[in-house]
Amino acid sequence: MPASDRYSRTAIALHWLIAALVILQFGWGWWMQEIPKQPVGPRVDAFNLHKSIGMTIFALMAARLAWRRTLTFLSTHVARRVRPKRASGRGGEGA
């Protein structure tokens, strides 16, 4: 596979970081169901951490999408400027 068709290392790292955090969130959410409602302190702390991790995942997803969009935008516009013009096929003199 040509290097130009692959994702960048940053995109791959963001992808796997997000995937790991989402799996962690599922496990954390499942575990939170077992926390007793009284006293409320540990349950509230767990829910707040769960929400904070969720917002972090959302921010990382937004960064990942922005990264991909920026690279696509740049590669498209740079390719247009660098691409050599084709010959018309009519000869060099416009015959």
| DSSP-assigned states of every residue in 42-62 | HHHHHHHHHHHHHHHHHHHHH
Report whether pLDDT(92) > 90. no
Assigned token pair, 15: 């992808």
pLDDT digits (tens, 9 = 90+) for 22-40: 999 999 999 999 999 899 8
Separation in Å, CA 35 to CA 24, 61, 92: 17, 29, 80
pTM, 2 dp:
0.64
